[in-house]
Amino acid sequence: MEPQSRNNRNRRSERGSSHFDHNNHQTHSQHRDDHRSFDHSRNNNRNGYHRQHSSQPEQADVQVEVGQRFPLTIKRLGINGEGIGYYRHKITFVPGALPDEVVVAEVTHVAAHFLNAKVHQIRKESDHRVTPPDTQSAEVGGFELSHLDYPSQLAFKRDVIRQALEKFQPRGWENYDLRPTIGMADPYHYRNKAQFQVRQDADGNVIAGLYKEGTHDLVDLPEASTQNDATMTVIRALVKMLQELQVPIYNEEANSGIIKTLVVRSSEASGEVQVTFVTNSQKLPHKRELLALIEERLPQVVSVMQNVNQSKTSLVWGDKTTKLMGQDYITETLLGKQFQLSPRAFLQLNPKQTTRLYEETIKALDLTHADHLVDAYSGVGTIGLSLADRAGEVRGMDTIEESVDDANRNADLNGITNAEYSVGTAEDLLPQWVSQGWRPDALVVDPPRAGLADTMIDTIMQVQPEKFVYVSCNPSTLAQNLVELGRVYRVEYIQSIDMFPQTARVEAVVKLVLR
């Protein structure tokens, strides 16, 4: 499987089990949506931070035990949103702590080059601390920064990019124009998709939610401030139906039961909602009664699907998806264009900020009607089709045939005749097109968290499109890629965009021009 494909996500398995789009290594959708995994691994990040930021020699003989408590002054935030301090010169990561706070830290893990700790007590509180709206935010993922006021969150996300650049030091990085992060007027209720695990508690009640950090203990989430109201209304109603009908719920230890996961996606433009039951079997007991209840109680649900995943792994999605009721798709509208979404199709989870992201991409590319544009890692074509009326021709590609079919169908849906999508990798298709006499003037890439593969970078350096925009979801791999790209391209600016308020994740639009 190619590293640059949308179904290859760079993520940390030990933290990927507690987020709204849970544990999927299979599609671009789930992995771009996974706002829990920010870098290659927590330990790698922490060792890198120690080497990069520790201005004092480490005391290798410091004796620390799990459970030990000590006062700690927090110096800054790490790229995963943890507070960072130093205990006898040893870097210490404390989730939930903020810069300038003095906390009593309780050690939870001891490693050779760093400590993990939790907040036992806050002795001096930051002026930027706020009370999170979610009582479960400290237990599950997806709320890493909910205790930090929003202006400070935006400043942090810009600084995360600066820290990544400082670590990898691409050519000219000190002079990059890092523009202030574009935030939201209301940084809550933005997520248009919920992906919740379903289990039974000790009393036999059906619950749906997220796992506690580092465990498979499910936390029921009747409310979640980052989810939009439509998804949460449907999730809670479905839980009640499953309880009423006594549909068998999956038991992870016994690998028995049927319902494993509920996936609910809503369209902001149309109000349509799509439901997918991820099941442990092709059988769905009480299916007829369940569908009747959905039709009666949830008229906004226009599409009901079943995905079968019989594996015992942490992957959410299986290979087979069938329609149980209603439409094959729901339709979302972005920048005046309609996009039909199948259950596993990729679409950014924040519609309002997606519009801003695409507007910034359009501005950075500055296309003319003579330009040939390549839309790499295209998914269902949202970026390329949003740019099609500004370009002469758009060619896109993705390694997932299902996504390419969606992209070409979305082109037809919008009457776009100058865009075509193909199955394959950019490093394979681009040289073929060039050899056939079709050379791109412009390129937009929206790679997975692993960034651009070396073969893709080599292809870009050979073809050298004049206009080039890199849409990044991972500052670390962006900075690494810019080391190589910087030999041919100059970074004109980096515009960060907050797609995931209350989390440590940040997206960026990078405008590059040939030197």
Kindly list the catalytic residues.
473
* Residue 385, SS3 per DSSP: helix
Is 446 annotated in a binding site? The answer is yes
CB 169 within 8 A of CB 483: yes
Tell me how far CA of residue 28 lies from CA of 148, 378, 389, 448, 473, in angstroms.
29, 10, 26, 7, 12
Is 169 annotated in a binding site? The answer is no
Is 348 annotated in a binding site? The answer is yes
Distance CA(221)–CA(226), nearest Å, equals: 12
* Residue 428, SS3 per DSSP: helix
Backbone angles phi, psi at 504, to 5 degrees: -85, 0
Q: Is 431 left (phi over 0), alpha (psi -120 to 50) or beta?
A: alpha
3-state helix, strand, coil in the chain (%, to 5): 25, 30, 45
CB count within 10 Å of CB 115 equals: 25
Is 61 annotated in a binding site? The answer is no
* Residue 37, SS3 per DSSP: coil
Distance CA(344)–CA(61), nearest Å, equals: 50
DSSP secondary structure code for residue 360 in this structure? H
For residue 59 the two structure tokens come to: 């005391």
In total, the chain counts a number of residues equal to 515
CB count within 10 Å of CB 175 equals: 8
Backbone angles phi, psi at 226, to 5 degrees: -90, -15
Q: Count CA atoms closer than 13 A to 239's CA, side-chain side.
A: 21
How does DSSP assign 121-180, residue by residue? EEEE--TTB---S-TTTTTBSS-TTTTB-HHHHHHHHHHHHHHHHHHH--TTGGG--EEE
Residue 304's DSSP bridge partners are: 275, 325
Distance CA(428)–CA(446), nearest Å, equals: 17
Amino acid at 183: G
Annotation: binding site: 348, 377, 398, 446
Annotation: binding site for S-adenosyl-L-methionine: 348, 377, 398, 446
